[in-house]
Amino acid sequence: TGRSLTEENLRFLAEKAFRTQVNDYSGMMLSWSQFCKEPLPERNFTFWEWFYAVMKLTREHLRGPWNDGYILGFVRKKQAEEMLSACANGTFLLRFSDSELGGVTIAWVGEQTEVFMLQPF
């Protein structure tokens, strides 16, 4: 889409695809089943279906903001909350939804430094 994935992006994708967190994924092999046959935990879609939906959304609707670095994208809900908890009122970020194929979630800091998340759309 015009912007390379960062090390953090690649780590996020590895954690999601392998369904585990380890220090080093470089020696691990992802099976075909893990990639595109087995649903992700607590989901009814596979890693490939999720990733393809993210790529399609970005390519067709979010290419400019993604290339300009305005979309953080690959970040878990808890990490987004932690990142925003120290930010000023009105600060927000866009991340790809874990629960909806091709969905984006907006997270923002409210008046009492509370972090809010919109349902994916």
Task: Give me the CATH number covering residue 27.
Answer: 1.10.238
Kindly report the pTM of this predicted structure: 0.89
In order along its 121 residues, the chain shows pLDDT tens digits of: 688 999 999 999 999 999 999 999 999 999 999 999 999 999 999 999 999 999 999 999 999 999 998 888 899 999 999 999 989 999 999 999 999 999 999 999 998 888 999 888 7
> Which domain, by its residues, includes 103?
7-117
Is 2 inside any structural domain?
no
85 DSSP assignment:
T
DSSP secondary structure letter of residue 22: -
The domain total for the chain is: 1
Give Cα 98 distance to the centre of its chain. 7
Which of the 8 DSSP states describes residue 74? S
Helices (H), 41-109: 47-61, 63-67, 77-84
Strand stretches in 1-121, DSSP E: 92-96, 104-109, 115-117
